[in-house]
Every structure is written in structure tokens, then in C-alpha cells.
Amino acid sequence: MPFFRRGSDDEREARARAQTEQAASLEALTRGGLPLRAQQRLGEIGKATSSFFTSDLSVDEFALVHALGLRPISQVMGSSIYHVGWQQRPGSFGGWQPGGVSQELTVVSEAWNTARLRAFARLEQEAKLVGADAVVGVHLTKGQHDWAAGAIEYVAVGTAVRAEGAEPVERPALTDLSGQDTWKLWQAGYRPLGVVGASTVHYVVPGWSTQQASGYWSSWANQELRDFTRGVYDARETALGRMTAEARAIGAAGVVGVSIEHSAEERESGAGGSRSNDLVVTFHVIGTAIGERRAEGRTLDVSPRIELRKDSLSPHVLGGSR
């Protein structure tokens, strides 16, 4: 019964060791690095002569990745929990803004972007530790914990792979494409260069006309809420613009598999005696930048087929809900 037991010397020593380890991990994390335990485990895998690997590749992916001459080394991961700062609501206090305001909440945007970049940076560090040439199937998930209010978490998980007979690379190429997609792209003459993404959060204070149309004195007429439309557009353009710029900076020919997640949340505000329903628009975009593998473009032969697939069973759920 551990509850009644008095700690022995061994135990106390072990606890002290665990605490110093934790302190060292914390310090490494503050510098944007990896915790000690991860460094040790991955360092061992990187040095090991055996070909033992872990991967979150499905069997199909595994088979295809093999066919490309890539050997999985280890599942790698990066995460970051980030505290989001506070920012003054844009727009002047008191009185109406006849034109409306659509402005980026730079502090909040930056929080999302930094958290994502840190998670990716740690994933990349892990991949470097195991001596990988690329990381395939990178999944980025958002976590939310009720014990960390006002914070966001990003977790990136993928499989580090080594290309057989290839020159060692300086930075492993990350891709959020599955093994299947990577294989198809490769056949078509492209290679992944890295994951690019951006997040923006925009704050829209509706102007006079929008408020009139949506508010208490709304007329019966069909009418566009122009300020809100503009706000959503602004946010999207900013996010996509940043992602495109990032892709260009690494010399990509284009970005594939872009996923856009967007949400618009209404927020009531009362400034200077006037009330308005403002809008907070959030955009997250992420995709894989690709470059041409060879000068001559190779087209992929594709044959149409009808699948005899109609599985009546839902996929297996391990350990409960998925």
C-alpha cells in the first residue's frame, strides 16, 4: 500500500533525480528544445545499428513508403502549450465608427502561430536526432485542457523516415501528406519540401450600416452585411498570403492538401454607451509545399476503377472513443 508507506532512501533519491531531470527538461523547453527523456530515447534510436522502428504508418502506407526506398525510423512528436495574451479590442472608444473596423488581433494570431511553429520545430528536432531525411504523415492536432484555461496546445505527430542511399540532408522535409499521397506525388515527379501554415484572428467591429441591417432596427430587406464579409475576406487573405509567402521562401512550386479551418464567433461589446455585436474571425490554414523532383514533368498513368468496397462495419475503435 503506497499510501501508508514511508519513503525509503532509495525512493527519496529517485524522486530527487526525477526532479532534477524535470528541471533540466523545463530549461530545455524554455529554450525551445526537447525534454531530456525524449532526447535520450531518440538519441539512442539514432545511434542504434538495429533497424527497429516505430511508426504511425498504416500498413498500406508502410508498404508504399517501402516501395519508395524509405525506411521508417521512429514516430516523432512535438508539442507546445501556449498561453494566449490579452489585447485591447480594436476601434476607438465611444461613438460610432461609420465605416466599421476590421483588424487583426496580432497578439492572438501570434500565439497560434508561435505554438504551431514550436510544435513543428520540436518535431523537426526529434527527426534530426534520429537522423531522418523526412517526416511523413504529420498530423497536427489541437488540444484543449480545462486545467489550462486561456492556453492552446498543438501536438504534431509523424513518422521519421530515412531515404536509402541518399545524401544526408540538413533539414528533414516535413509533410502532412499520407504515405499514399507522398508515393503518388513522387511518381508524378514531385517531392515534399515542408509543411507551411498560418493562423490569423481578425476582429470586426461593424459599421453603421451593418449594425442597422443586423440589429434592432433591421429592415425586412435582404441585405449583405458588408463589414462582416470584408472581415472574413481580410482574415482569409492574410492567412493564405502568409502561408504562400512561407512556401515561396523555401522555393516551392506550389502547396497541396491545404486545409482551411475557419470559425466566426459573435462577441457583444459595449463601448462608450453604444452596443454592437462584433465578430471574431479565426482562420487556420496548413498544407504541404512541394517542389519538382526532376526537370522533365512526368505524368502519372491513372486507371479508373470501381471498388467493390462497401464495408458494413465501422472501423475498430481502440480503447474507447476516437
How far is residue 291's CA from residue 311's CA, in Å, rounded to a whole number?
37
Nearer to other proteins, 34 or 127 (CB): 34
- Residue 112: name the closest of 33, 198, 195 by CA: 198
Q: Which residues of 132-147 are buried (b: 16+ CB within 10 A; e: fewer)?
A: bbbbbbbebeeeeeee
Euclidean distance between CA atoms 255 and 296, whole angstroms: 19
Cβ of residue 308: shortest distance to other proteins, in angstroms? Answer: 8
d(CA 82, CA 60): 35
Distance CA 42, CA 164 (A): 20
Distance CA 74, CA 160 (A): 5
Nearer to other proteins, 37 or 275 (CB): 37
Distance of CA 135 to the CA centre of its chain: 14
Residue 106: phi and psi, rounded to 5, are -60, -35
* Whether the Cβ atoms of residue 214 and residue 206 lie closer than 8 Å to each other: yes
Q: Which residues contact 315 (CB under 8 A, 6 or more apart)?
A: 322
Residue written as grid cell 505527430: 157
- Nearest to residue 252, comparing CAs of 283, 295, 293? 293
Cell numbers linked to 195: 509543411
- Rounded CA-CA distance 256/9 in Å is 57
